[in-house]
Amino acid sequence: MHGGVEWIVDVEGLESAAIAGEHGRSALRALFAELIAALELHPLHEPIAHVFPAPGGVTLLVALSESHLACHSYPEAGYLSLNLYTCRARPAPDWEGLVRAHLGPARVCVRTIERGERAAQPQRAR
């Protein structure tokens, strides 16, 4: 099998402070660390971390043996995007629990996208 699964996670209704600046970067790195441990993923390097000027959006990005993990926060909108793409099937993580544990209350929308040989049926995207 090739291709795998991508989780596209949109998080809304976050407190701005939870996802902004150095505090936001630390919280998101901790979320990444827990996710990586829980799913037994293998990072190829330290995450790329970038904190943008005020209001302090944060980008974190890491290549994995299994593909990649990324997030981008928009404190001005209380919004966070998360992507996890893994080339091997594995159980879905508890996205809502992880987000709330590290970032506080939020609305979490998860979509699961199949990649590769199963992607020839785009209507199966959900």
Cβ 116 to its own copies shortest distance, Å? 6
Distance CA 19, CA 90 (A): 28
Query: Do 37 and 3 meet the contact criterion of CB atoms below 8 Å apart?
Result: no
- Of residues 47 and 102, the one with the C-beta less far from its own copies: 47
- Of residues 54 and 125, the one with the C-beta less far from its own copies: 125
Cβ 17 to its own copies shortest distance, Å? 17
Contact residues toward its own copies (CB under 8 A) are 2-3, 6, 8, 10, 12, 44-45, 48, 50, 52, 59, 61, 63, 65, 67-68, 70, 72, 74, 76-77, 79, 81, 83, 85, 87, 109, 111, 113, 115-117, 119-120, 122, 125-126
Q: Is 30 helix (H, G, I), strand (E, B) or coil?
A: helix
- Of residues 2 and 40, the one with the C-beta less far from its own copies: 2
60 burial level (CB within 10 Å; 0-12, 13-18, 19+): buried
